[in-house]
A and B are shown apart, each in its own frame.
Chain A
Amino acid sequence: MTDETKPTVGDDLPEPVVRHRRVNASLIWLVPVIAALVGLSLVINAWVQRGPVITISFQTAEGLEPGKTVVKYKDVVIGKVTTIHLAPDHHKVIVKVDLEKSVTNIAVSDTRFWVVRPRIGLGGVSGIDTLLSGSFIGVDVGDSTQPQTDFIGLENPPSVTHDSQGKSFTLHAGDLGSLDIGSPVYFRRLQVGRVASYRLNDDGKGVSVQIFVENPYDKFVTTDSRFWNASGVDVSLGADGLKLNTQSLATVLAGGVAFLDGPGPHPNTSAAAENASFTLFDTQTLAMAPPDGEPHYIRMRFDQPLRGLTVNAPVEFQGVNIGNVVSIRMDYDEKTGNFPIYVGAVVYPDRLGRAHEKLVALAKSKGDNDDLSHMMGALVEHGLRAQAKVGNLLTGQLFISLDFLKNAPKAAYDPNTRPLEIPTAPGNFDKLQEQLADIVDKIQKIPFDSIGNNLNSTLAELNKTLKQVNGQVLPEFQNTLKGANQTLGTANSALSADSPLQQNLSGTLEELQRMARSLRALTDYLGAHPSALIRGRGADTPPPKTDSSNAPPAAKPQPGSKP
């Protein structure tokens, strides 16, 4: 073949046959058209799918990443963070979020956004899953229909979302205690709600706490319900022993609110209305106490130091707690140069119960003002005085006692001064202290120094005397004793049975005995023969003894000498 073609180029070569092509070459342009269509469809799709773009401002962009962090509602992704930048004033971060088209209607004015991060608090642990998956933005879709594109993000997850069923109530408290957003609300130790929010009152004199009670339980909040702060442990030492009372371990640490209907029958109670207001008491005891009524401010001036009196110390009237001390201020009296202490207290006359009612009725009947001032006036006239008394001897804590003092000095009382000033009297303890001080003064006046000196010299003298006694008197005394000893020995030998004295005495006694015998014979004879005194002895009497004949003449002169 090559041999053939080489020499004869273009002569006897075969001619190509004609064959119609099946496809037109220009159909290749379909490829870019299709590509363009695909691209266009992508663009249109993206444009159609594009939902509203909203901006949310947060305090920090911690955990947020543009292009990655998603916005979730009920754990469904409904948007994505596209950009994060600082606000012009550098105080906040502005997060731009592309929401999906299908959720356009969630961007309304009361929708709330917050960042779901892992949170570990006293009340529990939340958002643990975000530890690994990264934070996301949570949404609470609002009910409003007014669209909005700029939102202020919450720093903490809201404890109450729009879709939860129940009622909100407002509690008024003096302070927040240890409550926080999300703190539990207990009813009979069952958690039935949460603290939704709190804010300081506009005048700064209290806190309003918004709580949310969930649906099946909200009917238990009645117009008679009493709320108290269940934080911490309530320890009471009574006659029946030590009592420790708390709602739950969590409330001990994280705080909580509990409520219960007030004691007694409630014929007219009804479920409380939404956003009803209640007072938040500090303890259950306070909450369950009968209502205090209107508080009254009174002031007392004390001229003695009040060490141990503290704010919140009780004010008692005849032993009934009617209020407490709210302020203790020192003043200076230019005239006397004293430093009087002004104690302010809030008292609740309603705590006196029927006594108060009667006093009010009495004041009214007299035509006086029925508030505290005139009532007090009458009581002050009867000797009512405020005293700072010792409530606890161990700690020396004082309380204010309003008591009637007998023979109290007359005190000035003006019912029209505001604040109402109650005259005071020094307390018992103060008197005791004064007396003690007097005694101590007297004791201090005793000249212990000179007494000591005198005693000292006396002792020295005594010492000297004793030395003298030791050196001179004692040897003498010893000699004397020796002499006495000898004398006693002599006496002893003189008195012994074989001593001549004893024998002489014995002979003498025998003689005396004989003499007595003969005397008796004589008296017998004289009795029988009284004449013998004159005539002498008769011859007829035989002479029994020669001795006795001699004796009568000797004895004759004796009786004769007597007369």
Chain B
Amino acid sequence: MSALPRAHELGLIGCHICGLVCRDTQVEHAACPRCGAALHRRKPASCSRTWALLVAAFLLYIPANVLPIMRTVSLGDVDDNTILSGVVELWVKGSPDLAVIVFTASIVVPMMKFLVLSTLLLSVHRGTNWARTQRAKLYRLVEFIGYWSMLDVFVVSLLTALVQFGFFSQVEPLPGVVYFGLTVVLTMLASMSFDPRLIWDCKDEDD
């Protein structure tokens, strides 16, 4: 027995809702005897859920990038833009700072989420205790930036609401933005359904 015991080593299980500590009877569908909330040492099927959501998010990310997200009509000049073409247009038309922001929020962050969550899931599957602290930090980072990746959706919805000048200027959302929003929601759900405790569930070797 190591110096720092874990709950399951002591045969204990805590309720996430009311904080009641129960004995771990290893039953399939345990519930808190006091508040009735589901009792589990780890989030049930965390890996498969995360995988499923991550895969779904990735699948939706493809049409989100291929389909145009926004139509700008200005003086009869119709302009449909996908995320990437919008970034290119911003860069070309002299707003590289905005282009970088949009690129980061719409391309870098979702891709990073996919990569980080896949890495976390794979490492948990292998049960390695490689760089656990860093992995935990990575997970917290993903959780944190998850809020901000909706930037594109916000931009499109704000512009659609604000720029409605008929013939002179008009902005319409296009289907791409729906897929993009779904991607962001699914990645957030995926990161939520991942149980970071799994990172620490391997054998302690150094501490």
**B-contacting residues of A (Cβ < 8 Å)?**
5, 9-10, 13-21, 25-26, 28-29, 31-32, 34-36, 38-39, 42, 67-68, 129, 132-134
Contact = CB atoms under 8 A, between A and B. Distances in A.
A35 B23 contact: no
Interface string B28-70: 1111111010110000110011001101110110110001000
Contact of B55 (A14, A21, A35): A35
B77 interface: yes
A19 B29 contact: yes
Contact of B52 (A13, A32, A39): A32
B12 interface: yes
B23 to A, nearest CB: 4
A38 B77 contact: no
Name the prevailing secondary structure of the B interface residues. mixed
A16 B48 contact: no
B98 interface: no
B10 interface: yes
A473 B21 CA distance: 177
Contacts of A68: 78-80
A10 B12 contact: yes
A133 B77 contact: yes
Given A15-B22, A35-B59, A134-B77, 18 more contacts: A10-B11, A13-B23, A16-B23, A16-B39, A17-B31, A18-B29, A19-B29, A19-B30, A19-B38, A26-B45, A29-B48, A31-B53, A31-B56, A32-B56, A38-B179, A39-B63, A42-B63, A129-B76
A35 B57 CA distance: 8
A28 B45 contact: yes
B117 to A, nearest CB: 14
B176 to A, nearest CB: 10
Given A13-B12, A18-B29, A35-B55, A26 B38 contact: no
19 contacts: A16-B27, A17-B33, A18-B28, A19-B36, A25-B45, A26-B45, A28-B52, A29-B52, A32-B55, A35-B56, A35-B57, A35-B60, A35-B182, A38-B63, A39-B60, A67-B80, A68-B78, A133-B75, A133-B78
Contacts of B10: 9-10
Nearest to A11: B23
B120 interface: no
A136 to B, nearest CB: 11
A18 B48 contact: no
Contacts of B22: 13-16
A16 B49 contact: no
B25 interface: yes
Nearest to B50: A28
B77 A132 contact: yes
B202 interface: no
Given A14-B33, A28-B49, A133-B77, A39 B11 contact: no
Interface string B166-179: 00000000000001
Contact of B25 (A15, A19, A28, A67): A15
B68 to A, nearest CB: 10
Contacts of A129: 76
Contact of A15 (B23, B48, B77): B23
Contacts of A134: 76-77
Nearest to A134: B77
Nearest to B73: A133
B158 interface: no
B105 to A, nearest CB: 21
Contacts of A29: 48, 52
Given A32-B55, A133-B77, A10 B30 contact: no
B76 A133 contact: yes
Contact of B20 (A14, A20, A36): A14
Contacts of B182: 35
A5 B21 contact: yes
A42 B63 CA distance: 8
B13 interface: yes
A16 B59 contact: no
Contacts of A132: 75-77
Contacts of A26: 45, 48
Nearest to A67: B80
Nearest 4 A-B pairs (CB), nearest first?
A16-B30, A133-B76, A32-B56, A35-B56
B142 interface: no
Interface string B158-197: 0000000000000000000001001000100000010000
Given A10-B11, A17-B31, A28-B45, A34 B78 contact: no
Nearest to A33: B56
Contacts of A25: 44-45, 48-49
Contacts of B56: 31-32, 34-36
A559 to B, nearest CB: 156
